[in-house]
Structure 1
Amino acid sequence: MPFIIGFLAATLRIATPLILTSLGGLINEKSGITNIGLEGIMIMGAFFAVVGSEYSGNAYIGLAVGILAGVLTSLIFAFLSIHLKADQIISGTAINTLAAAIPSLLLWALFGMQSQSNGVDRIAYSPRAREIIGSIPIIGDFLLELNYMVFVALILVAVFTWLLNKSRWGLRLRSVGEYPKAADTLGIKVYMTRYKAVLLSGALAAMGGASLSIVSGNIYRDGMINGRGFIALAAMIFGNWTPLGALGASLLFGAAEALQIRSQSFGLPIPTEVYYILPYLLTMIAITAFGKRSHAPAALAKPYEKGER
């Protein structure tokens, strides 16, 4: 039982950055914009959350700084892909390249180290919160293994499920992603809707990155995102562009990584590297098996020119 509880808790913790980032990718693509730069936005969120926490002494301010960095990075992508109508794949690649370079340049200037930051204040349960949570019957010990960001991610899945399917905002967003010309005819501001979607996506992906650096840990290291932005995109496709589907796929990828982390306790004669490649193997399988069956927005990755026929 302790192993199962630990494994489930680890799955949720590991899946949380993927859930948040796949929600961001989902909002992006529902508006007709594809952004492979989510990896880079996660990097920016993770790094600047640590910077904010270091210089303010408050992890929550650090989280806000990380989110702001993600939004500003997304604004660059939005300007390139929506305003200038640049190729969205190339623009996303540029964001990833830029985001990978910035922390490497600033780590030495801000922390005096080449590949990692100082340890900083992190978001964690307070002693009083641990006491209250631990006193909950049956599930208290399990909940203590989680963190605040897990609950935020699960709540956001429920919120965006309702917003996308039941709200006026969701209808407008989906119409812009499916048939922007018709949406424009009905008075929906296509460019503004897409800009807002990209910025919201950036905030979510930055939260995903920050959850790694100041929630699960308290430090930024070069390479700590390690392809999670791309795995989150695969989770979104695997989940057929729905919040609940993205949640399920993220949990699957999280379980694969949790299995890799705990593999040595099994005592099986299987190389650790086999477990290590599981999340990436699942990513390739998901894209291959479900990419053609999934129903992407009809206008995905197609720049819109107002007034075109």
Structure 2
Amino acid sequence: MSVASTTNAQIDAPRIVAVVSWKAPIIFGIFTVLFALLPLLVPREGATTFRLASGDAFFTVPDIVLPSTATAWVSVVLLAASTVFAVFLANSRRRTPLWLVVVYVAALLIGFLAWAAAGATLPMVGLLGGALALATPLIFGALGGVIGERAGVVNIAIEAQLLAGAFSAAIAASAAGTPWAGLVAAMGAGMLVSLVLGIFTITYFVDQVIVGVVLNVLVIGLTTFFFRQVLAPNTETLNSPETFTAFPIPILSEIPVIGPILFRQSFIVYLMYFVVALVWFGLYRTRWGLRLRAVGEHPQAADTVGIKVLATRYRAILLAGAVAGLGGAFYTLVAVPRFNQEMTAGAGFIALAAVIFGQWDPIKATLAALLFGFATNLQGVLSVIGSPVPSQFMLMLPYVVTIFAVAGLVGKSRAPAADGKPYIKS
């Protein structure tokens, strides 16, 4: 081969340009500096006890006692080392791996808990078990968002689906005298909201974000009106639902540490485990999932090979609405045995953030929702043990976590290529 042909081949060869985000190193650095100010300006005396077993545990697990200030400084060192490593990776044009994010978050949480609970005992089983329960509606909502957006439909209406599910579950369970009726009604209410979303966005090509926002406002208004006019005057008959109580799973619930956390929950939490696995398997291991993802990435190509794009999108958002409706049922059939106005309190938007933070993957979105649930439950636990952290800060903690997560803690997230774009068959 001549020199000229070799040079031409080198010129014609495609060049791969790696795009590396500096968001993770910057966020690491900000949190490291802010956390270092805590032991520096407000050192805490004493030690923090991490209790890893509940009082009725079959196996005895010893408590872990850590010196508060020393543990906080060790965490600062680990955070700084993780930040330096993240900077090195970014400078080398390499992405920040997920394991580094997990290590950073774990070091930050342990250090913060040791500092905040100085001289007190942290019931880790209650903290993590409560976080799992609080994250359950977020996980259902996030799974609904993943299904819809994988098919190319932006689901801003998760809040409406959760609230409609909670409202319908309360009425159906009260009228029928069984929580199972409430569960079915919640799924139906979520599907109804999704059907309206589909009619306007899939059939009539209305902007998906606008329709989602309108549906959120509409459902809030309708549920508030019917609560005041119908439920409040008839509380005993229409707003006193039978609930799902927590029940332990034999043997599994006796596993040290994780048993009480995972296997002493209510039926809806156990159902959530199954739905997460089912959605993951369906998306990545079945023909249905392949077609759904094809419609969300390149609907014209999917249409060319015979996939009915509009029908696939309708089926996807109806399924997404049913899943999100299950999350709404958690509020009135597990958490609070009655419906209250706007009781979801913006959980649908946090679930939407979990979808983005989880990069439109059901497992990652579930982990993101668990993080938000932990941040929500942490505020209650720290207030009970008398932590010096201001209550106002703890109330905003879940939303701060949401903002930083969506800002790019795990780097750049790419939505499905056709997400939010109506399909007009040519």
Which is worse superposed, 295-304 or 148-157? 148-157
Which amino acid in structure 1 is aligned with residue 369 of structure 2? S
In structure 2, relative to structure 1, the CA distance for the partners of 1:154 and 1:143 (3 Å cut) is closer
Q: Does 1:69 align with 2:189?
A: yes
Distance, in Å, in 1 between the alignment partners of 2:304 and 2:350 is 36
Could you tell me which residue of structure 2 aligns to residue 189 of structure 1?
308
Q: CA shift at 1:265, angstroms?
A: 2.7
Distance, in Å, in 2 between the alignment partners of 1:164 and 1:257 is 29
Q: CA shift at 1:172, angstroms?
A: 0.1
Could you tell me which residue of structure 2 aligns to residue 107 of structure 1?
227
Which amino acid in structure 2 is aligned with residue 191 of structure 1? L
Could you tell me which residue of structure 1 aligns to residue 366 of structure 2?
247
Superposed counterparts of 1:169-184, under 5 Å: 169-184=288-303
Q: CA shift at 1:73, angstroms?
A: 1.3
Which is worse superposed, 166-175 or 108-117? 108-117
Q: Does 1:264 align with 2:383?
A: yes
In structure 2, relative to structure 1, the CA distance for the partners of 1:200 and 1:238 (3 Å cut) is same
Select the structure with the greater relative contact order (CA < 8 A; seq sep ≥ 6): 1
Which amino acid in structure 2 is aligned with residue 245 of structure 1? K
Distance, in Å, in 1 between the alignment partners of 2:160 and 2:405 is 22
Q: Which of 289, 295, 302 matches 2:408?
A: 289
Superposed counterparts of 1:67-216, under 5 Å: 67-113=187-233, 118-125=239-246, 130=248, 132=250, 136=254, 138=256, 141-142=260-261, 145-216=264-335
- Does structure 1 conserve the Cα–Cα contact (< 8 Å) formed by 2:157 and 2:212? yes
Q: Which runs of 5+ in 2 are unaligned?
A: 1-50, 55-122
Could you tell me which residue of structure 1 aligns to residue 148 of structure 2?
28
In structure 2, relative to structure 1, the CA distance for the partners of 1:32 and 1:292 (3 Å cut) is farther
Higher radius of gyration, 1 or 2: 2
The 3-state SS of whatever aligns with 1:289 is: coil
Could you tell me which residue of structure 1 aligns to residue 340 of structure 2?
221
Distance, in Å, in 1 between the alignment partners of 2:262 and 2:356 is 29
Distance, in Å, in 2 between the alignment partners of 1:291 and 1:84 is 36
Q: CA shift at 1:28, angstroms?
A: 0.5
Distance, in Å, in 2 between the alignment partners of 1:90 and 1:6 is 40
Identity of aligned residues (%): 39
* TM-score, reference length from structure 1: 0.92
Aligned residues: 304
- Does structure 1 conserve the Cα–Cα contact (< 8 Å) formed by 2:249 and 2:264? no
CA-based RMSD: 2.2
Distance, in Å, in 2 between the alignment partners of 1:71 and 1:7 is 33
Q: Cα deviation per residue 1:174-211 (whole Å; 9 max; x = unaligned)?
A: 00000000000000000000001111111111111111
Which amino acid in structure 1 is aligned with residue 285 of structure 2? K
The 3-state SS of whatever aligns with 2:265 is: coil
